[in-house]
A and B are shown apart, each in its own frame.
Chain A
Amino acid sequence: METFLVVAGVILLIIVFMYNTLISKKNQVENIFAGLDAVLKKRYDLLPNLVASVKEYMVHERATLEKITELRSKALNGSLDSRETIALDKQLSSMLSNLMVAVENYPTLKANENFLHLQGTLNELEEQISAARRAYNQSVTDYNNAIEMFPTNFMASAMKLVRKEVFSIPSNERANVDVKNLFQK
């Protein structure tokens, strides 16, 4: 009887430990996602100013600017889940980098004080977003490992935990794209 109690106690402890590990990893993902959301929100806040300050110069980029505005309102309107946020951020990042390349054709815009300030702020925000993406990816990897590895995978399936998606960061962003340099070419 005693042996049975000891074994049952050990099993219970292992179950509690696995449960807590999974929950802490899940919460870590959510916590870092909230941090990522905060920096993305900062970027959304910056976009109307950016669009307004470049609009009068960049007559040929109207489509890009409209797309950026549309993506922004999409991001702010509905309550997006993490998968949608990731997809939206990807689209917005690519739109913004298109815009930054296009700036090259507008010398007067490049000399505009207001725009220079925005460019600096955006540069810093990109660094913060990149850091938040990397932190999110690491936490998602830890979480995914935990729900797929033995023996926590049994516990995870009982808890109905599913894999989460990581951000795929374009290779040029991995090398810390320097927006400032893009402008100074």
Chain B
Amino acid sequence: MKTNLASLLDYYYESMYPELKALEEKRQSIVATLKKAAFILLVIATILFLFLTKNAILIPLNALMVSGMGAFLIFMFIYRHESAGYGSLFKDQVIEKIIHFLDASLIYDKTGSMSEHEYQQSELFLESYDRFSGHDLISGKIEGVDVRFCDLHVEKKVRTKNNNEEWHDIFTGLFFMADFNKTFHSKVVVLPDVAERSLGVLGSWMQGMNVQRGELIKLDHVEFEKLFVVYGSDQIESRYILSHAFMEKIVQFRTKIGKPLYLSFVDSKIFLALNYTKPLFEPILSRSLLEFNYIKDYFELLAMIVSIVNEFKLNEKLWSKR
């Protein structure tokens, strides 16, 4: 596995640059089309607004809303249509290439997703959901460890006070699964600690009352306890999984990424979920592909995910797993 930025720079200029130049032309033509469309729609919307107000069909506020909304919707339609093809090409020529640069054996499927079964098996989010979608599935072996991960979006439909429908996120971000290096039979779930941090002892007491999650496991690592709350079905096995060295690595990883981290250990597998509010592998139309820094961001994100195996030493198996 290569995670060296200097070697990425060589790879970028040698293997990616020629194709990216062609793709960059496409991006520029899309941006030009979008600018043109925005200009034309603005003109049409202004004419429509003037027409509606002049003929006293609508009051100015309503006329502004009708013309503005109409133009916006048409623009969004054009934007989606134009960027869809570009997004797909971007994934082929940027994301897939970076993944193969990091580890040639990994398989990338831009439309693939982790299954609902895997999501439910993790027991990370117990809330019921109404919409499940994922893309950019990456699977294969890293250092001999089976891994699968994708960009996942799980939502729930809720009714507002005005009886309108709204979609609320249950989880959006990176969902990662790998073989764990120890054999175990119980379940352990590690969640960000919100209650104890904000409510202190009362929060800790409330955590203990969460019967849905199982037994509260209090651990002997101060930093880890501050960041996480742990539930498990077996006091001893939970500590077998969460050894001191492993808790230390989790704390370091959590500090490094600075995002809410969810972990679970089920059926000798480790599940990891990282909250991201933006799509992970989608292109940004306003940024030039010929800027190395832009490509570097995707590289750093993918390198971070691929490095989880090493960071958590998932490849160092104990005797029973050999």
Q: Binary interface profile of A, 28-51, with partner B (CB < 8 Å = 1, else 0)? A: 000010011001000000000000
Q: Does A55 interact with chain B (Cβ within 8 Å)?
A: no
Listed stretches B78-86, B235-243, B288-296; interface member: B235-243
Q: Given the complex of chains A and B, what is the CA–CA distance between A120 and B220 in angstroms?
A: 26
Is the pair B239, A135 in contact by a Cβ cutoff of 8 Å? yes
Q: Which interface residue of A121, A124, A135, A137 has the most chain B CB atoms within 10 A?
A: A135
Question: Which residues of A in the span 83-137 have a Cβ within 8 Å of any Cβ on B?
Answer: 117, 120-121, 123-124, 127-128, 130-132, 134-135, 137
- Residue in B218, B243, B245 whose beta carbon sits within 8 Å of that of A131 in the complex: B243
**Which residues of B lie under 8 Å from residue A39 when comparing CB positions?**
236
Is the pair A137, B220 in contact by a Cβ cutoff of 8 Å? yes
Q: Does A20 interact with chain B (Cβ within 8 Å)?
A: no
**Which residues of B lie under 8 Å from residue A131 when comparing CB positions?**
236-240, 243
Q: Does A144 interact with chain B (Cβ within 8 Å)?
A: no
Q: Given the complex of chains A and B, what is the CA–CA distance between A142 and B220 in angstroms?
A: 12
**Which residues of A lie under 8 Å from residue B239 when comparing CB positions?**
130-132, 134-135
- Knowing A35-B236, A131-B239, A135-B239, say if A124 contacts B320 (CB, 8 Å): yes
Q: Does A73 interact with chain B (Cβ within 8 Å)?
A: no
- Residue in A121, A135, A175 whose beta carbon sits within 8 Å of that of B236 in the complex: A135
Q: Binary interface profile of A, 159-185, with partner B (CB < 8 Å = 1, else 0)? A: 000000000000000111000000000
Is the pair A127, B245 in contact by a Cβ cutoff of 8 Å? no
CB < 8 Å A-B pair total: 52
Q: Given the complex of chains A and B, what is the CA–CA distance between A134 and B221 in angstroms?
A: 11
- Residue in B182, B220, B237, B244 whose beta carbon sits within 8 Å of that of A175 in the complex: B244
Q: Given the complex of chains A and B, what is the CA–CA distance between A139 and B216 in angstroms?
A: 12
Minimal Cβ-Cβ distance residue in B for A38: B236
Is the pair A127, B236 in contact by a Cβ cutoff of 8 Å? no
- Residue in B236, B238, B244, B319 whose beta carbon sits within 8 Å of that of A176 in the complex: B244
Q: Does B318 interact with chain A (Cβ within 8 Å)?
A: yes
- Residue in A36, A124, A132, A142 whose beta carbon sits within 8 Å of that of B318 in the complex: A124
**Which residues of A lie under 8 Å from residue B218 when comparing CB positions?**
138, 142
Is the pair B244, A135 in contact by a Cβ cutoff of 8 Å? no
Q: Given the complex of chains A and B, what is the CA–CA distance between A92 and B209 in angstroms?
A: 39
Minimal Cβ-Cβ distance residue in B for A122: B319
Q: Given the complex of chains A and B, what is the CA–CA distance between A131 and B240 in angstroms?
A: 5
Q: Binary interface profile of B, 91-114, with partner A (CB < 8 Å = 1, else 0)? A: 000000000000000000000000
Is the pair B319, A134 in contact by a Cβ cutoff of 8 Å? no
Q: How far is the CB of B182 from chain A (nearest CB, A)?
A: 8
**Which residues of B lie under 8 Å from residue A117 when comparing CB positions?**
319
Q: Given the complex of chains A and B, what is the CA–CA distance between A74 and B238 in angstroms?
A: 30
Is the pair A128, B240 in contact by a Cβ cutoff of 8 Å? yes
Question: Which residues of B in the span 235-282 have a Cβ within 8 Å of any Cβ on A?
Answer: 235-240, 243-245
- Knowing A123-B318, A176-B243, A176-B244, say if A132 contacts B236 (CB, 8 Å): yes
- Residue in A121, A137, A175 whose beta carbon sits within 8 Å of that of B319 in the complex: A121
Q: Given the complex of chains A and B, what is the CA–CA distance between A122 and B322 in angstroms?
A: 14
**Which residues of A lie under 8 Å from residue B182 when comparing CB positions?**
127
Is the pair A127, B220 in contact by a Cβ cutoff of 8 Å? no
**Which residues of A lie under 8 Å from residue B243 when comparing CB positions?**
127, 130-131, 176
Q: Given the complex of chains A and B, what is the CA–CA distance between A16 and B182 in angstroms?
A: 42
Q: Could you list 18 A-B pairs, sorted by A, with CB under 8 Å? A: A39-B236, A117-B319, A121-B319, A127-B318, A130-B239, A130-B243, A131-B238, A131-B239, A131-B240, A132-B236, A132-B239, A134-B220, A135-B235, A135-B239, A174-B244, A175-B244, A176-B243, A176-B244
Q: Please give me the 7 A-B residue pairs with the lowest Cβ-Cβ distance, nearest first.
A: A120-B319, A131-B240, A131-B239, A176-B245, A135-B235, A135-B236, A124-B319
Q: A123-B319, A131-B243 are known contacts; what are 12 more A-B pairs with Cβ within 8 Å?
A: A32-B235, A120-B319, A123-B318, A124-B319, A124-B320, A131-B236, A131-B238, A131-B239, A131-B240, A132-B236, A134-B220, A135-B235
**Contacts from B to A (Cβ < 8 Å):** 182, 218-220, 235-240, 243-245, 318-320, 322
